[in-house]
């Protein structure tokens, strides 16, 4: 069966904003944008839901130089606030660079949007441009899930990302703060971070992190060290769990699909066992619990 394509994938902000229309038609309609208008820069305030927190000053200066020569080619997107100011939805780099360039006005689309719509649009615009670091993506995914009350599957559909991708980013929130900082500053890669997730003992985890940074270990080298550590700490004579019968494997797959979470089933030869369900956040736990309760 052909896979249904997501209408947002690869289309960025335009997939949510739609086509620009005359500003007079905006009244009473929360799903349209206005024609491009010149907006006073001193009336624009930054987006509190902006996923990107750090802006490279040198890159902003270069963009400001370009704006001085050619002007702002791509309009920013804003929403009008009750006090007459405009709040940025997308285009904060252009806005900051225009301030540096000394502009008093900037072209922009005026959008009517709720807080949750603003957060979603800011995230989609940035993710589709692929200019956020891994931790910014993880925090933004989690904010969308909690603030907009989305499941992993719904977020996957809206962003045009696989559910596995969503889950992998959210797992980064379980990393210690020092590892998160190393990832956000490009001292380690996301693949390094995912490997480190399997090391729960804090001191060992941080020692491995420091080794990766100081010795520039590859992901494969890190995985080999982690494998060796696990072998050293495994109890002597530990036997591998018995293979699951087909019915149990199928049941495990059914649970994964229904709960939209990783599920592990262990069973002894006598038929006794455990079911382990993973969750990433408190809201994810509440979602799983609600699904189980509603199934009764």
Residue range 69-123, pLDDT digits in tens:
888 888 888 888 888 889 888 888 889 899 999 999 999 988 777 776 776 776 6
- 232 tagged catalytic: no
Question: Which residues face 266 on adjacent strands?
Answer: 274
- Backbone φ, ψ for residue 264 (5° rounding): -125, 130
> pLDDT digits over 155-201, tens only?
888 777 888 888 899 999 999 999 999 998 899 999 999 999 999 88
**Which tokens belong to 79?**
């929403």
Q: Which of 92, 120, 125, 136 is catalytic?
A: 92
> What's the rounded Cα separation, in Å, for the pair 43 and 72?
17
* Torsion angle of the four alpha carbons 185, 190, 195, 196, in this order, in degrees rounded to the nearest 10: 20
Q: Cβ–Cβ contacts within 10 Å for residue 263, how many? A: 17
CATH-assigned architecture of domain 14-113: Alpha-Beta Complex (3.90)
User: Domain locations in the chain?
Assistant: 14-113, 177-229, 246-294
Q: Closest Cα partner for 165 from 183, 148, 190, 188?
A: 190
- What percentage of the chain's residues is helix, strand, coil (to nearest 5)? 50, 10, 35
Task: Kindly report the pTM of this predicted structure.
Answer: 0.52
């Amino acid at each position: 069966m052909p896979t249904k394509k997501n209408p947002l994938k690869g289309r960025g902000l335009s997939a949510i904003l739609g086509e620009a229309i005359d500003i007079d038609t905006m009244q009473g309609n929360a799903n349209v944008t206005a024609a491009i208008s010149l907006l006073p820069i001193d009336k624009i305030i930054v987006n509190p839901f902006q996923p990107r927190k750090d802006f490279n000053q040198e890159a902003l200066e270069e963009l400001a130089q370009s704006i001085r020569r050619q002007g702002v080619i791509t309009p920013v997107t804003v929403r009008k606030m009750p006090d007459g100011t405009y709040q940025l939805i997308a285009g904060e780099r252009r806005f900051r660079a225009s301030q540096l360039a000394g502009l008093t006005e900037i072209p922009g689309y005026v959008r009517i949007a709720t807080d949750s719509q603003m957060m979603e649009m800011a995230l989609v615009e940035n993710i589709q441009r692929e200019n956020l670091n891994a931790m910014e993506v993880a925090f933004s995914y989690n904010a969308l899930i909690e603030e907009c009350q989305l499941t992993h599957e719904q977020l996957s559909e809206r962003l045009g990302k696989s559910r596995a991708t969503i889950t992998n980013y959210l797992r980064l929130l379980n990393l210690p703060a020092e590892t998160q900082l190393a990832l956000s500053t490009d001292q380690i890669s996301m693949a390094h971070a995912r490997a480190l997730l399997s090391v729960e003992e804090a001191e060992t985890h941080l020692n491995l992190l420091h080794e990766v940074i100081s010795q520039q270990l590859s992901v494969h080298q890190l995985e080999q060290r982690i494998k060796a550590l696990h072998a050293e700490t495994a109890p002597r004579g530990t036997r591998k769990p018995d293979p699951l019968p087909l019915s149990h494997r199928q049941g495990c797959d059914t649970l994964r699909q229904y709960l939209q979470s990783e599920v592990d089933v262990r069973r002894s030869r006598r038929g006794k066992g455990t079911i382990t369900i993973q969750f990433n956040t408190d809201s994810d736990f509440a979602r799983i619990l609600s699904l189980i309760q509603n199934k009764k």
